[in-house]
A = this chain, B = another copy of it.
């Protein structure tokens, strides 16, 4: 029900996901009066793989998360997460209120033992392809210990989903030298250096994220959110200037016509929608957050991400490997 467009986008995207993933079944959680009309013309082979769970209310985009947890037990978000907690679904995908999704996720699914807070992770385009970054906004204040937990969760996920044997981990900082940064980042760097199981490569600066210096970039949620949104903002500004520049006169408009396949190719390569679907790591269940403004295709990527995580059973993997990382075996002298 969430996001800027609600079921109008999420239901058709769900139907397409069923076509892409033959073993997938989908539980649509929301108001039946809005959902049923969208399933009317759905072919019967797909229809049997869909269940509908009616929810009377929705969590509003500006609702306080704690209010949603206490008072919105009949909301689509609450009931979708509950269906994961009850084992009725293996993953939850939502385009709704991020803060509420996190607080409800934490309240309903519970944290993995040894993890204090969930973290939001997503892929970011780089020169080499893409990297993962976390946290992207779940936690506005993080201790060094939290950053360490993020690094462990991210590494386990990258190993499973991206099949990178030993993902490189970096801490986002305002300089590469050891003396740079705030206390949390400096202490986190020391903790990460001591963890023999992690492939920690040190600090990287903001621009290092996009040059692909690390497979996993760890930061607190305040910084991560602002880094990502700022760069999206500049990318949008550039694209706007390009459009203006190409439409200045007839010659340039002709040039734009000739360059259209090239421009489209670039847009595809750099489309933030391709990276839609942020995972909430650290919960005892899989939750993927779609961008609120996602269109049909982009919401589909978020579903694909949830499918991949469910196939790899990410929460169980994190849980199993956590103890090993938090208390590394003593290396022989």
Residues in chain A within 8 A of chain B (CB atoms): 62, 64, 99, 125-127, 137, 140-141, 172, 174, 177, 179-183, 205-211, 219, 221-223, 225-238, 240-242, 245-246, 252, 255, 258-259, 262, 265-266, 269-270
Contacts and interface: CB of A to CB of B under 8 A. Distances in A.
Given A174-B221, A229-B206, A255 B252 contact: no
A246 B233 contact: no
B181 A210 contact: no
Given A141-B183, A222-B223, 12 more contacts: A99-B180, A125-B237, A126-B237, A174-B229, A205-B225, A227-B230, A231-B233, A237-B270, A238-B270, A255-B262, A258-B258, A259-B259
Closest 9 CB pairs of A and B: A206-B229, A207-B233, A206-B230, A210-B233, A231-B234, A227-B230, A140-B182, A174-B225, A206-B226
A329 to B, nearest CB: 35
A319 B97 CA distance: 44
Given A64-B179, A259-B259, A242 B227 contact: no
A242 B266 contact: yes
Given A140-B182, A221-B174, A227-B226, A233 B208 contact: yes
Contacts of A235: 234-235, 238
Contact of A211 (B64, B206, B222, B237): B237
A117 to B, nearest CB: 14
Contacts of A221: 174
Contacts of A141: 182-183
B245 A230 contact: no
A230 B233 contact: no
18 contacts: A62-B177, A137-B174, A140-B181, A140-B182, A141-B183, A182-B222, A205-B226, A206-B225, A210-B234, A211-B237, A222-B223, A223-B223, A232-B234, A234-B234, A234-B235, A235-B235, A235-B238, A237-B270
A110 B207 CA distance: 33
A178 to B, nearest CB: 10
A172 B228 CA distance: 13
A137 B266 CA distance: 33
B242 A252 contact: no
A104 to B, nearest CB: 16
Contacts of A205: 225-226, 229
A293 to B, nearest CB: 12
